[in-house]
């Protein structure tokens, strides 16, 4: 196995998986999805569907116990509602702190978990789908370029120089991600982004708004909204 892709079943990680499969071939790629107590477990079904579409090895972990004491609004244990606003609107009230859907050090945890599994499987690289829209204004600080550089260095050094992190979109926008995915014919019809656990995307949460804007910027209809 050459590459491990952190897969949430959304647009960004599905595009990462498309890139990894293009570069290494499906037989050398593993997708890793994590249940961490999120309300929108539907994304895990999407992660599995996307892995099956590409014919890559799929693994799912349950790390929910680590967030048992978190008050993050994304989690089932929280009494907080998921904001029905854009990230920009939310950030206007957080005084530079992360938004309420920030899961404590989630990307660092997922990358470290992925590193332990990837090293055991002989992989040389981990892909993940952080992009600059999510990092903007410190909404999700674990999506920033600076965080990614530090984490890549930690994984490289801490693995005895055996493993790297690849974040192909960390300086790009979500619209850039969709453009790349359209080029790669990524199976966006299988993906799920909405933070709510409903049958259809709510269209109002931060990630629904970002997703809609990214498709609109590419002049393409989001298949999630097709009948």
Binding site for a copy of itself (CB under 8 A): 61, 65-71, 96-98, 102-109, 111-113, 115-117, 119-121, 138, 141-142, 144, 146-147, 150-151, 153-155, 157-161, 163
CB of 206 to a copy of itself, least distance (A): 16
Tell me the C-alpha distance between 21 and 186, whole Å.
11
- Residue closer to a copy of itself by CB (options 152, 222) is 152
CB of 73 to a copy of itself, least distance (A): 13
- Residue closer to a copy of itself by CB (options 120, 226) is 120
| Nearest CA among 98, 176, 89 for reference residue 144 | 98
Give 111's contacts (C-beta < 8 A, 6+ positions apart): 6, 126, 128, 151, 155, 165
CB of 10 to a copy of itself, least distance (A): 19
CB of 202 to a copy of itself, least distance (A): 26
CB atoms within 10 A of CB 101: 23
- Residue closer to a copy of itself by CB (options 72, 177) is 72
Sheet hosting strand 3-6, strand order edge to edge: 57-62, 29-35, 3-6, 125-127, 164-166
Tell me the C-alpha distance between 75 and 5, whole Å.
23
- Structure tokens given for 173: 């926008």
- Residue closer to a copy of itself by CB (options 150, 220) is 150
Tell me the C-alpha distance between 35 and 47, whole Å.
11
- Residue closer to a copy of itself by CB (options 38, 191) is 38
CB of 158 to a copy of itself, least distance (A): 4
Q: Which helix (H) or strand (E) holds 151?
A: helix 145-158
Tell me the C-alpha distance between 29 and 39, whole Å.
28
CB atoms within 10 A of CB 172: 17
- Residue closer to a copy of itself by CB (options 43, 142) is 142
CB of 223 to a copy of itself, least distance (A): 32
Strand segments, DSSP code E, in the chain are: 3-6, 29-35, 57-62, 125-127, 164-166
């Amino acid at each position: 196995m050459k590459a491990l892709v952190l897969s949430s079943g959304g647009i960004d990680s599905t595009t990462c998986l498309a890139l990894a499969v293009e570069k290494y071939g499906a037989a050398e790629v593993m997708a890793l999805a994590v249940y961490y107590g999120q309300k929108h477990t539907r994304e895990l079904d999407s992660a599995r569907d996307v892995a099956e579409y590409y014919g890559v090895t799929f693994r799912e972990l349950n790390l929910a116990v680590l967030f048992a004491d978190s008050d993050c609004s994304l989690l089932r244990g929280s009494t907080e509602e998921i904001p029905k606003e854009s990230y920009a609107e939310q950030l206007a009230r957080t005084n530079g702190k992360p938004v309420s859907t920030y899961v404590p050090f989630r990307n660092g945890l997922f990358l470290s978990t992925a590193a332990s599994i990837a090293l055991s499987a002989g992989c040389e690289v981990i892909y993940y789908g952080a992009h600059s829209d999510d990092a903007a204004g410190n909404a999700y600080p674990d999506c920033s370029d600076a965080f990614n550089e530090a984490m890549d260095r930690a994984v490289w050094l801490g693995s005895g120089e055996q493993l790297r992190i690849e974040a192909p979109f960390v300086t790009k926008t979500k619209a850039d991600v969709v453009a790349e995915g359209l080029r790669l014919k990524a199976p966006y019809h299988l993906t799920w982004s909405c933070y709510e656990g409903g049958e259809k995307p709510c269209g109002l949460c931060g990630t629904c708004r970002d997703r809609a804007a990214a498709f609109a910027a590419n002049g393409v209809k989001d298949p999630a909204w097709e009948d």
